[in-house]
Amino acid sequence: MPIANKLKKINNALPEKVKLVAVSKTKPVEDILKAYETGHRIFGENKAQEMFVKQPLLPQDIEWHFIGHLQSNKVKYIAPYVKLVHSIDSVKLLAEVNKHAYKNNRIIDCLLQFHIATEESKFGLNLKEALSIFNSDFFISLKNIRIVGIMGMATFTDDMDVVRAEFTHLKSCFDELKEEFYKEDDNFKEISMGMSQDYEIAIEEGSTLIRVGSSIFGARNVAK
């Protein structure tokens, strides 16, 4: 099935509250344009340099979401235009995003990434760490970032009970932070969870942003 059809099929089946981030990492700009021409505007990349190269080649009304592990020294490549950083996993990174947002005269929306999978390799915070960030004076002093929700990646497994339990846990972390820090703030509303193999479960568990790559653009050559 062509990219445009696969994308439209997923988009058409989404509940109103859920948005799709079309994950275009490793794919050429021609493929992104095929998706763009269906009217889709939200694209995700996981490498700052790759986003930096593609962004000027593509229409300027694309909303670029950064979904991968972000190194502090790479923030400058995406700060002028990035719409949402899904992968904040330390105060240090948050401070760096704030610094570059300030330089660009912007406020950059961010999600805190939670570690919900059993694999050691996946980045992210636990609830205690997130609470200590929100409770710190330093966090409150960062005026050029805005936290609009949280993100997580489930364990890479065929056992969908495990995946579902991890998504349920992420939703409960969201609910706790919402209650404690963002009760009156409608901007804190995003739960970024769900990829090609598990997004339907993620939606059932409360996802508002799914990040889907291979089901739209086809398999990638290298595991990234």
Residues that bind ligand PLP (CB under 6 A): 23, 25, 46, 67-68, 153, 195-196, 211-215
Smallest gap from Cβ 124 to ligand PLP, in A, equals: 11
Residues near 103 by beta carbon (within 8 Å), at least 6 away in sequence: 79
Which CB atom, from 98 or from 192, has the smaller least distance to ligand PLP? 192
Instruction: Provide the minimum distance between the beta carbon of 121 and ligand PLP in the complex, in angstroms, as a whole number.
Output: 12
Quick check: 165 and 172 in contact, CB under 8 A? no
**Minimum distance between the CB of residue 213 and ligand PLP, rounded to whole angstroms?**
3
Whole-number Å distance between alpha carbons of 15 and 38: 18
Q: From the CB of 185, what's the least distance to ligand PLP, in Å?
A: 25
Chain residue whose CB lies nearest ligand PLP: 213
Contacts with 5 (C-beta within 8 Å, 6 or more apart), sequence order: none
Q: In this complex, which beta carbon is closest to ligand PLP, that of residue 46 or of residue 207?
A: 46
Q: Which is nearer to ligand PLP, 149 or 213 (CB)?
A: 213
Cα–Cα distances (Å) from 178 to 118, 120, 131, in that order, read 25, 27, 11
First-residue to last-residue Cα distance in the chain: 23
Return the number of the residue (142 or 163) whose C-beta is nearest ligand PLP: 163
